[in-house]
Amino acid sequence: MNNMKTAILLGTLTGIFLISGAMAGGRQGMLLALVFAGLMNFVSYWFSDKIVLKAYRANELPESEAPRIYAMVRELSQQAQIPMPGICVFEQDSPNAFATGRNPDKAVIALSRGIIHLMGEAELKGVVAHELTHVINRDTLLATIAATLAGAIMFLGYQMRWLGLFSGGGHNDDNRGGALGMILMAILAPLAATIIQMTISRSREFKADAGAAQLTHNPEGLASALEKLTAYSKRLPLQATRQTAHLFIVSPLSGKGLLSLFSTHPPIEERVTRLREMRFT
Active site residues: 131
Integer Cα distance of 19 and 30 in angstroms: 7
Strand partners, 90: 112
Buried b (16+ CB within 10 A) or exposed e, 167-203: beeeeeeeeeebbebbbebbebbbebbbebbebbeee
Q: Where are the beta strands (DSSP E) in the chain?
A: 59-60, 86-90, 97-100, 108-112
How large is the greatest C-alpha to C-alpha distance in the chain, in angstroms?
76
CA neighbor of 145 nearest in space, from 11, 279, 281, 280: 11
Q: In what order do the strands lie in the sheet with 86-90?
A: 59-60, 86-90, 108-112, 97-100
- Reported residue count of the chain is 281
Cα–Cα distances in Å, from 130 out to 43, 64, 279? 27, 24, 17
Dist. CA 258–CA 281, nearest whole Å: 41
